Copies of this chain bind each other. A is one copy, B any other.
Amino acid sequence: MPATIRDVARLAGVSPSTVSRALSMPEMVNAATRARVAAAVEQLGYQPNRAARGLITGRTGNIGLVVPDLANPFFASVAKGVQARARRYDVAVFVADTDEDAAAEVGLVRALAKQVDGLILCSPRASDADLSAIAQDTNVVLVNRTAEGVPGIIYDNEGGMRQAVAHLVALGHRKIAWVGGPVTSWSTQHRTLGLSNALYDHGAELARVGSFAPTYEGGMAAADQAVATGATAVVTYNDLVAIGLLARLHARGISVPGDVSVVGIDDIAMSRMARPALTTVRLPKQEAGRIAVELLLAVLDDPDPGTAIGTRGTLHGELIVRDSTGPAPQP
């Protein structure tokens, strides 16, 4: 039903080859012919069939995005960024959600790999070994995770933690509790390290509270233990955890920031709606998605694997001070 390249050719009075060239290598065809082709294309509303093109060029013009959970606002934002930037390059995006399941993730990636030119893996849960294996035979860009020889975008977790600590120390806090995320999480490890270093530099004390699910419930569970450490401030793995923690503290009648200050990481939409509004380290989420697309397309265009391999973008967080942090209570 839709017009084919032959229809255009017939209408323009040229051969299909010429139409093809007029569209993809305009400088190779005579200006007059080019104009005739353009007119015919216009008239028929012709759009080349991507499947047919892909068959011969080996490029599909599609990329895939794999995230652990679309309903998580962090990943939704990244997806939004990916999607917006991909459109600019006329690339379509397959989105897949693994439901936080590492095994499902590997299967999904394998299935998707055949249908796309490259994949963006956001906070993948797969093992380093699986990840490297995948990157072997597929163009992959990692977001929020690193793996040997695979290009990616990461956040400057150390820098973010440093900002949070500087803020809290300035407010007089000397003992700070840390609520970590999943033990296997790459981010948890780096954030723990960054926080620990920053606190050491300021001569303040770190109280580790352990690992919790990166959810509202995880935050509620962590609250009592965080308070029990005697810390006057709590930094959490992400905003969702911080908001859960806030809820539990409120339920127990503990004042924020009067008794305890709370800092999250991410700056999801919910954070400024929390009560009290959450102080947090804002991570540029859509930006990560946009850069991931640029990086992936660069990898695709460069046939030489040496260039892009190891290319790694770093994005910096920004401390957003709201109402959940205040001066440390006088003992």
Complex alpha-carbon distance, A275 and B77, angstroms = 24
- Pair A83/B96 contact, Cβ less than 8 Å: yes
Complex alpha-carbon distance, A93 and B95, angstroms = 6
- Pair A83/B97 contact, Cβ less than 8 Å: yes
A122 at the interface (CB under 8 A from B): no
Give 1 or 0 for each of A229-267: 1 = CB within 8 Å of chain B CB.
Answer: 000000000000001100100100000000000000000
A93 CB contact (under 8 Å) in B94, B270, B273 = B94
Complex alpha-carbon distance, A66 and B276, angstroms = 35
Of A51-59, A172-180, A185-193, A310-318, the segment with at least 4 beta carbons within 8 Å of chain B is A51-59
Residues of B close to A51: CB separation below 8 A: 50-52, 54-55, 60
Residues of B close to A1: CB separation below 8 A: 137
- Pair A273/B244 contact, Cβ less than 8 Å: yes
- Pair A50/B275 contact, Cβ less than 8 Å: no
Of A68-76, A145-153, A162-170, A294-302, the segment with at least 4 beta carbons within 8 Å of chain B is A68-76
Residues of B close to A243: CB separation below 8 A: 273
A29 at the interface (CB under 8 A from B): no
Residues of B close to A70: CB separation below 8 A: 76-77, 79-80, 83
Complex alpha-carbon distance, A84 and B67, angstroms = 13
Residues of B close to A79: CB separation below 8 A: 70, 95, 97
A291 → chain B, closest Cβ, in Å? 17
A28 at the interface (CB under 8 A from B): no
A115 at the interface (CB under 8 A from B): yes
Residues of B close to A47: CB separation below 8 A: 114
- Pair A94/B92 contact, Cβ less than 8 Å: yes
A88 at the interface (CB under 8 A from B): no
Give 1 or 0 for each of A35-58: 1 = CB within 8 Å of chain B CB.
Answer: 000000000000101111011000
A273 CB contact (under 8 Å) in B60, B108, B216 = B216
List 23 A-B pairs, Cβ < 8 Å.
A2-B114, A50-B51, A50-B115, A52-B55, A62-B94, A69-B80, A70-B77, A70-B83, A71-B80, A73-B73, A76-B76, A79-B95, A79-B97, A80-B97, A83-B96, A93-B94, A93-B95, A93-B96, A94-B95, A95-B95, A216-B269, A247-B275, A270-B270
- Beyond A71-B76, A71-B77, A83-B95, list 4 extra A-B contacts (CB 8 Å): A50-B114, A55-B55, A71-B73, A243-B273
